[in-house]
């Protein structure tokens, strides 16, 4: 009778022990995930800081704080503590919008003037002389790029404004994690867009000195 009484008690102990072990493992996984995430966010923020982008550095660190809190306490816990998440998200949104304007060529007066100047230069350029570029195929490339340059430089400032509008909308409406993912994609994966300056630089490589850059 004594043994029969202890048997289910031991099973209860075993069940309790199993439950505690699962809980411990769950907490351990959260801590490890938080640590790895912290290293990743800090590493990326250091990279941006070294590139001279303090605003983006702050955005990354704040996003990291929000992400790690969600891992440690769960996203639903952050919803319940909406004051904390709303404060961090609000700061990220404000900084992201500000950064979109600061980083845009549409707000850079020097870039605006440069595009206008290159457009005017492109209208005056007729051909690349043989004494500068003796290769006929290269001169043909120069001539083909000339028409593209006129169109691109004529539209460049408007395109920059459109890009700014898109970036500002992303900063306003994307959640912090999606915004950070888009930023990483733009910085490391997305191809560099063709611009008025990039075409003019290519044409200057073909026919040296034709454009004042």
Q: Output the pLDDT for position 56.
A: 93
Dihedral sign from CA coordinates of 150, 152, 155, 158: negative
Within 13 Å of residue 46, how many CA atoms lie on the same side as its CB? 6
Q: Are residues 42 and 138 in the same domain?
A: no
Q: How many CA atoms within 13 Å lie on the side-chain side of 97?
A: 10
For 197, residues 6+ apart whose C-beta sits below 8 A from its C-beta are: 114, 115, 118, 213
Q: Is residue 127 a contact partner of residue 143, using CB atoms and an 8 Å limit?
A: yes
Q: Tell me the residue range of the domain where 150 lies.
A: 105-213
Residues 14, 87: one domain?
yes
Q: Round to whole Å and give the CA distance between 81 and 71.
A: 14
Query: Band of the pLDDT at 61, cuts 50, 70, 90?
Result: very high
Does 212 lie in the same domain as 113?
Answer: yes
Does residue 62 share a domain with residue 76?
yes
pLDDT per residue as tens digits for the range 96-148: 999 999 999 999 999 999 999 999 999 988 888 888 889 999 989 999 999 99
Looking at the structure, do residues 112 and 158 belong to the same domain, yes or no? yes
Structural tokens at position 201? 């630089």
Task: Look at residues 82, 103, 124 and tell me which one is the last residue of a structural domain.
Answer: 103
Q: Are residues 115 and 98 in the same domain?
A: no
Residue finishing a domain among 83, 103, 123: 103
- On whether both 150 and 211 belong to a single domain, the answer is yes
Q: pTM of this prediction?
A: 0.75
Distance CA 8, CA 25 (A): 25
Which of 103, 137, 160 terminates a domain? The answer is 103
Q: Do the Cβ atoms of 211 and 204 come closer than 8 Å?
A: yes
Q: Which run of H or E residues covers position 25?
A: helix 2-50
**Buried residues in 1-34 as b, exposed as e (16+ CB within 10 A):** eeeeeeeeeeeeeeeeeeeeeeeeeeeeeeeeeb
Q: Are residues 165 and 86 in the same domain?
A: no
Looking at residue 60, what is its pLDDT? 93
24 and 81 both lie in a single domain: yes
Pair (59, 114) in one structural domain: no
The total domain count for the chain is: 2
């Amino acid at each position: 009778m004594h043994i029969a009484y202890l048997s289910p008690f031991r099973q209860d102990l075993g069940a309790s022990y199993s439950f505690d072990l699962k809980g411990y493992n769950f907490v351990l996984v959260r801590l490890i995930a938080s640590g790895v995430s912290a290293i990743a966010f800090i590493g990326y923020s250091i990279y941006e800081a070294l590139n001279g982008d303090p605003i983006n550095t702050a955005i990354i660190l704040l996003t990291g704080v929000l992400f790690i809190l969600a891992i440690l306490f769960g996203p639903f816990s952050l919803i319940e503590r909406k004051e904390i998440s709303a404060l961090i998200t609000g700061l990220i949104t404000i900084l992201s919008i500000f950064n979109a304007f600061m980083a845009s060529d549409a707000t850079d007066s020097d870039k605006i003037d440069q595009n206008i100047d290159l457009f005017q230069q492109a209208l005056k350029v007729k051909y690349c002389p043989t004494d500068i570029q003796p290769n006929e195929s290269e001169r043909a490339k120069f001539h083909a790029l000339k028409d593209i340059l006129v169109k691109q430089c004529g539209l460049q400032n408007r395109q920059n404004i459109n890009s700014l509008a898109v970036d500002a909308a992303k900063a306003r409406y994307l959640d912090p994690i999606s915004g950070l993912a888009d930023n990483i994609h733009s910085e490391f994966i997305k191809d560099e867009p063709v611009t008025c300056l990039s075409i003019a630089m290519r044409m200057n490589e073909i026919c040296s000195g034709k454009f004042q850059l």
